[in-house]
Structures are given as C-alpha cells and as structure tokens.
Copies of this chain bind each other. A is one copy, B any other.
C-alpha cells in the first residue's frame, strides 16, 4: 500500500521512477515538487502526477506520504520548509539518499524535532543514468532496499515505509544508519573509487591506449561514468567509511604485488580463486561477454 496524498520531492531517476510506479499502481492524489516549470509540465503531460510545481505548501497539503528524492544537500532546506507545511497528522517522510547518517543528522532531525515522522531509506537501484528522462516503471523491482530506523522511529512509521518499498518489489532490510553507511562504503562507494582510480591509472597518461581496451576495462570502469557532482556528494558524506574501505583495497592490492614480486605461484592462484568464488556466489559467472 502506498498512502496518499503521495508527494515526491525532486523527481529525477529515482523519484521519477516512483511516479511511474504510482501511476502503474493507480495511486490516487500523486503530486510532484520540482523547481523547474518545464519539468512540471512534462510530469503532468505524462500523467505521472495530478499536480506538479514548485509550491511546496500547496503540494504537501494533507500529504500522508512524502519521499525526499533531491540530492542530500538540498534535502535539509526542503525539510525545514516541510516543518512549516500542513502535512496530515499521520504523515510519514522518507528519502532515497545513498548515505544515511548525513540524512538522519540533517533532514531527519529537522523533521523529527518538528514532530514529523521520518525514517531514512536507501533503495539500491541507481545507475549512471540520471534525471527524470531515465526514470522508468519497475526500477525498484527485486532491488535491495535498506531502511534505517533510529531511536525516534515508531513501529508504525517503520511499517509504513517498509510496506511502501515492498509494494514496489524491493527486498527490504533494516539496520541503523551507521551500519548502512559502512556496508555501502564496502559494496558500492569503494568499488566506485576503484573504478575511478582504474580509469585514471589506465588512461590518464595516454588516453589513446583506450582504443585497444575491450570488455574488461569497459565493465571494470563502468560506474566511473556516473555523475561527478552526485558522487562527490556521496563520497564526501561517507568519507570516513569510504576511506577505510579504500585502505582495505590498497591492502588487497599490496597482497597481489607482494605475491607478484616473490613469484609465489600457488598463492596467486589461491587468491584469484578466492576472489572468483566470492564473486560467483553472488553473481552468476558471465557465460559470454567478450
């Protein structure tokens, strides 16, 4: 169930995909807040919301469910404005940011102090694509979504947010914001830094080398094609955990270097086998992707 009136604030890839799903599920009273008037017209033309525009007070009047989908930095200002809006008394607010401590300490606290129920969410369904144009129905289907309750979160607020993501097809897990941030540093932010560093180390001195690269470099560096402004914010917001994981990556590279320098055959193969097993236990080995 998706409570409504349902308001998406700042629909880009993620928020726009929420609008697509709400349309698909015939949720009544869906509204979208966007600064840009042209964007608002697009949303209305596509039938993605019954109201769209930049008047936050008007759009959130009586709202029962609000998703903050702006960049995290913009979320605090919006949260402060929301405290002056007339949401429904049982309204629940969540967000879709990639770093949860930052959101909790910012937008979350602002809302909670004003008596508005907030709990953070992180649906793991992003991509290098960005913007409303890349939004699509079913983006969240089978995605993992981590909900991050804190001591201020009531059981009913948590239940509303969990059910929202489950309705969209997510596998929902909950953990506290710090555990979330440490986890995504390991499985998402550090691999992003690795892709950036591989790109720089491979191509910075001689970009023409790229003409000889095949699918290996393409896939290893794919995420480095992501939006620099968005990733600057994510990496900076989660910098302590990210830095720790990057140091783990440097250690793993150091292990390989040490083995290569000593020409320790068996050890290299067992390290390669260990990596293969860890990877293949999550992802089926690609059958044929040259």
CB-defined contacts of A199 to chain B, threshold 8 Å: 275, 278-279
Complex CA distance for A195 and B278, rounded to whole angstroms: 12
Determine if A249 is an interface residue (Cβ-Cβ < 8 Å): yes
Nearest chain B CB to A265 CB, angstrom units? 7
Determine if A204 is an interface residue (Cβ-Cβ < 8 Å): yes
When C-beta atoms are compared, the residue in chain B nearest to A203 turns out to be B278
CB-defined contacts of A217 to chain B, threshold 8 Å: 187-188, 191, 282
Determine if A68 is an interface residue (Cβ-Cβ < 8 Å): no
Interface size class of A (residues with CB under 8 A): 35 or more
| Chain A 151-182 interface mask (CB, 8 Å, partner B; 1/0) | 00000000000000000000001000000000
Q: Are B246 and A290 in contact (CB under 8 A)?
A: no
| Chain A 217-248 interface mask (CB, 8 Å, partner B; 1/0) | 11111111110110110011001001101111
* Given A236-B263, A263-B239: A210 in contact with B281 (beta carbons within 8 A): yes
Q: Are B215 and A201 in contact (CB under 8 A)?
A: no
Complex CA distance for A188 and B281, rounded to whole angstroms: 24
CB-defined contacts of A239 to chain B, threshold 8 Å: 260-261, 263
Complex CA distance for A220 and B129, rounded to whole angstroms: 17
Q: Are B228 and A194 in contact (CB under 8 A)?
A: no
Determine if A110 is an interface residue (Cβ-Cβ < 8 Å): no
Determine if A36 is an interface residue (Cβ-Cβ < 8 Å): no
Q: Are A260 and B287 in contact (CB under 8 A)?
A: no
Q: Are A139 and B216 in contact (CB under 8 A)?
A: no
Q: Are B286 and A128 in contact (CB under 8 A)?
A: yes
Complex CA distance for A196 and B275, rounded to whole angstroms: 6
Q: Are B129 and A281 in contact (CB under 8 A)?
A: no
| Chain A 265-276 interface mask (CB, 8 Å, partner B; 1/0) | 100111111111
When C-beta atoms are compared, the residue in chain B nearest to A210 turns out to be B282
When C-beta atoms are compared, the residue in chain B nearest to A258 turns out to be B243
Q: Which of A18-26, A40-48, A99-107, A119-127 contacts B (4 or more CB under 8 A)?
A: A119-127
CB-defined contacts of A270 to chain B, threshold 8 Å: 228
Complex CA distance for A199 and B271, rounded to whole angstroms: 11
A191-B202, A246-B260 given. 16 additional CB < 8 A pairs? A127-B290, A184-B212, A187-B213, A194-B220, A196-B252, A201-B251, A201-B252, A216-B222, A218-B283, A222-B289, A232-B269, A232-B272, A236-B260, A236-B265, A239-B260, A243-B260
Query: A interface vs B, CB < 8 Å?
Result: 124-129, 134, 136, 139, 143-144, 146, 173, 183-184, 186-188, 190-204, 207, 209-226, 228-229, 231-232, 235-236, 239, 242-243, 245-257, 260-261, 263, 265, 268-276, 278-283, 285-290
Give 11 CB contacts A-B under 8 Å. Answer: A124-B212, A126-B214, A129-B285, A191-B217, A196-B272, A213-B282, A216-B222, A219-B223, A222-B289, A224-B275, A236-B265
